[in-house]
Amino acid sequence: MLKKLRLQLLSACAAACLLAQPAHSASYFENALVDDVVNPGRLQTKGDIEVVEFFWYGCHSCAAFESQLNAWVATLPRNVHFMRLPASWNSDMVAQQRLYFTLVELKRLDLHAKVFADIHTKRRQLDTEARIAAWAGEQKINANTWRDTFNSAAVTAQVAAAQSAYQRFELNWVPALVINGRRVVAYTPSVLNDADQEVRNLLSQNAPASSQIFEPKATK
């Protein structure tokens, strides 16, 4: 039954979430909707518990998930650290990874939701450096500042770290939630309930941070 549900889920979001898959990925969710990750370990040290969302701006499911995810994150205790990481599995997606981390570096994550809205509601093609730079100009961001940050070593390092984490966990879909570097939650209608239960279980156990930390640090 769970395998059938998983197949139905993946089929439903294939156009948005699985345009092409990484060369190597794990076989998750054969027997449950929450599974142990391969190569476990947290990505950073903030918080007693870590929640990571892997996403892609071009993913319809990620865009639809955003408001629900934000509402859930707002309910998390202060000792739970939430972070987003953009993923890619082909070179055409890297520009949007750079877009996210440029917003991080410029402290303009207030524009994160607008990126989703402009791509999925206004049908903007923000898929190349030039198109993204033009969009940034529309947001009144200085062109030189944007270009220099977009191509900076800091953004390059963060893109590499995010991609290394995605590949290390052997994921092959977005959005994907990884809890404390140990458990991955299937993207189903119950995804946030399942993730919340995992977090609450860890809180009740007073789970210490995993001793295995993946470096380099992926985001600020």
Secondary-structure class of domain 31-204 per CATH = alpha beta
Q: What tokens does 139 get? A: 């947001």
Q: Give the other-Cβ count within 10 Å of 47's Cβ.
A: 18
Task: Measure the CA–CA gap between 46 and 82, rounded to whole angstroms.
Answer: 9
Question: Tens-digit pLDDT profile for the chain (220 aa)?
Answer: 444 444 444 444 443 355 445 555 667 988 789 999 999 999 999 999 999 999 999 999 999 999 999 999 999 999 999 999 999 988 999 999 999 999 999 999 999 999 999 999 999 999 999 999 999 999 999 999 999 999 999 999 999 999 999 999 999 999 999 999 999 999 999 999 999 999 999 999 875 545 454 444 444 3
d(Cα 93, Cα 71) in Å, to the nearest integer? 27
Which run of H or of E encompasses 150?
Answer: helix 143-150
pLDDT the model gives residue 6 = 47
**Which of 65-83 are b and which e, b meaning 16 or more Cβ less than 10 Å from the residue's Cβ?**
bbeebeebeeebeeebbbb
Q: Which two tokens stand for residue 140?
A: 């009144």
Tell me, what's the pLDDT at 15? 37
**Can you say how many angstroms the Cα of residue 63 is from the centroid of all Cα atoms in its chain?**
11
User: CA neighbours within 13 Å on the CB side: how many for 83?
Assistant: 27
The full set of domain ranges for the chain reads: 31-204
